[in-house]
Chains A and B, each alone.
Chain A
Amino acid sequence: MDEAERVAFESEMHQNEDIAADVRLRQEIVLAIRRKGVEDVFRAKEREIRSRSARKWLYLPSALLAACLVIGVFFRIGNVRECKELGESIVLEAVQMRGGADSDEILEAINAGKYEDALCQIETLRMQVPEFDLNSEEGQYDKMQFDNQMEDLDWFEAVAYMRMGKVRKARQCLSAIASNPDGVYASRAAEALKEL
């Protein structure tokens, strides 16, 4: 409506109660429509706030878990490094060997860093259990040599795992060695366990 039309309409409205009532009703409807729109905005905002709050509670434990994982990884990396360094610091020398020539190959493999080969050979040797005549002196001597060799193999295995950085495996082997107080390597295994 232009200005003249509007003035004419308003004048008619003042004189005609029905037109005024219609206009008032229309205004109320429009206000109600706008109010509904505003309410929808508020409800949507409420949903958004609640959703954000719920996500925060989801993200917080996830973030904490991630932080724990990262710390755990760093801790483990540190642990592995220390384990390797400890393994490298242990000198495996010929003078320690009391077993047969097979032990030489295992020792060479460990010192050359071929740990998997060494472990494989250790396993093979363990399975080869000869029979001993314990009634004879010779048989008793052979048994003693065999037991010494087995002790050496246990120690080699522990050192191999340490140099590989396999902390859990190394601990298992060292615990077994340290649990035999009469064993040649018991005290060294106990010391190594303390450091791990």
Chain B
Amino acid sequence: MTDQEFIRGILRDDKQVLGRLYETNREACLAWMRTRVHNALDEDELVDIYTDACLAVWNQVQKGRLSVETLSCSLKTYLFSVAKNMILRTMRGKKSWAGTSVENIQDELSDSGIEDAWMKNEEECIVYEEVCKMPFPCNRLLNLFYFQKKRGEEIAQIMNYSGPDSVKTQKSKCMRKIEAILRKKLGR
């Protein structure tokens, strides 16, 4: 799959493409990270960083900051660079990191030319946190509608609603609920 195909698939939230993006680069990226951190991070932490790096790439594509036209390197290189930034931040947060390892990464970062505009702002973090806290049926319904892009009739069948009008009503309720919570938290 070419980088263009990956980016197009990411844009439309294609689950197969996303899965393939994750799987294709996983081993190489984890192996690369292991050589950089010298056992300062365990395997689970490295996997978390890798997952966050993939999410950051997705985020950049959705916001139009990463596209076929603006990509100056391969998607894999971009992903590795994002992972590199994340390792640095994670290692800084740890008290027992080997200073030498982090300095090596820092030198590479300054040469990389990849801006870390992928960092989420505080507001995005708050919104994401509330979305993750959403209970059933809102979390399922909104996932089916906005992520899986199912139609009202399909959602009604999956979730056992009487019809697409019930789905619309419930969706509206869920969105109003979370908007109210977020307006309070964000002080709007």
Q: Which residues of B contact A49 (CB under 8 A)?
A: 23, 26
Q: How far is the CB of A1 from chain B (nearest CB, A)?
A: 15
Q: How far is the CB of B148 from chain A (nearest CB, A)?
A: 7
Complex: how many Å from CA A32 to CA B183?
Answer: 15
Whether A36 lies near B22 (C-beta < 8 A) is no
Q: Which residues of A contact B47 (CB under 8 A)?
A: 46
Whether A25 lies near B51 (C-beta < 8 A) is no
Complex: how many Å from CA A9 to CA B23?
Answer: 42
Whether A30 lies near B55 (C-beta < 8 A) is no
Known: A29-B131, A32-B128, A33-B131. Contact between A42 and B54, CB under 8 A? yes
Complex: how many Å from CA A105 to CA B51?
Answer: 82
Asked if A104 CB lies within 8 Å of chain B CBs, one says: no
Whether B13 lies near A28 (C-beta < 8 A) is no
Q: Which residues of chain A from 115 to 158 have a CB within 8 Å of any chain B CB? A: none
Chain B: residues with Cβ within 8 Å of the partner, total of 34
Asked if A19 CB lies within 8 Å of chain B CBs, one says: no
Whether B58 lies near A35 (C-beta < 8 A) is yes
Whether A21 lies near B188 (C-beta < 8 A) is yes
Complex: how many Å from CA A28 to CA B183?
Answer: 12
- Closest chain A residue, CB of each to CB of B18: A41
Of A22, A31, A42, the residue contacting B18 (CB under 8 A) is A42
Known: A25-B188, A42-B51, A45-B19. Contact between A36 and B179, CB under 8 A? no
Q: Which residues of chain B from 8 to 53 have a CB within 8 Å of any chain A CB? A: 13, 15, 18-19, 22-23, 26, 47, 51
Known: A34-B62, A42-B55. Contact between A29 and B179, CB under 8 A? yes
Q: Which residues of A contact B131 (CB under 8 A)?
A: 29, 32-33, 35-36
Asked if A191 CB lies within 8 Å of chain B CBs, one says: no
Q: Which residues of A contact B183 (CB under 8 A)?
A: 25
Of A25, A26, A37, the residue contacting B13 (CB under 8 A) is A37
Question: Which one of B47, B143, B146 has the greatest number of beta carbons of chain A within 10 Å?
Answer: B146
Asked if A56 CB lies within 8 Å of chain B CBs, one says: no
Whether A37 lies near B143 (C-beta < 8 A) is yes
Asked if A176 CB lies within 8 Å of chain B CBs, one says: no
- Closest chain B residue, CB of each to CB of A38: B58
Asked if B98 CB lies within 8 Å of chain A CBs, one says: no
Complex: how many Å from CA A26 to CA B62?
Answer: 15
The 4 closest A-B pairs by CB, nearest first: A37-B147, A32-B131, A32-B128, A33-B146
Give 6 pairs: A residue, B residue, CB < 8 Å, sorted on A. A32-B128, A36-B128, A36-B131, A38-B58, A40-B143, A44-B19
Enumerate chain A interface residues (CB-CB to B < 8 A). Answer: 21-22, 25-26, 28-46, 49
Enumerate chain B interface residues (CB-CB to A < 8 A). Answer: 13, 15, 18-19, 22-23, 26, 47, 51, 54-55, 58-59, 62, 123-124, 127-128, 130-132, 139, 142-143, 146-148, 175, 178-179, 182-183, 186, 188
Q: A25-B182, A35-B131, A45-B19 are in contact. List 20 more A-B contacts (CB 8 A).
A: A21-B188, A25-B188, A26-B179, A28-B123, A32-B128, A33-B146, A34-B62, A35-B58, A35-B59, A36-B143, A36-B147, A37-B13, A37-B143, A37-B146, A41-B15, A41-B18, A42-B19, A43-B51, A45-B22, A45-B23
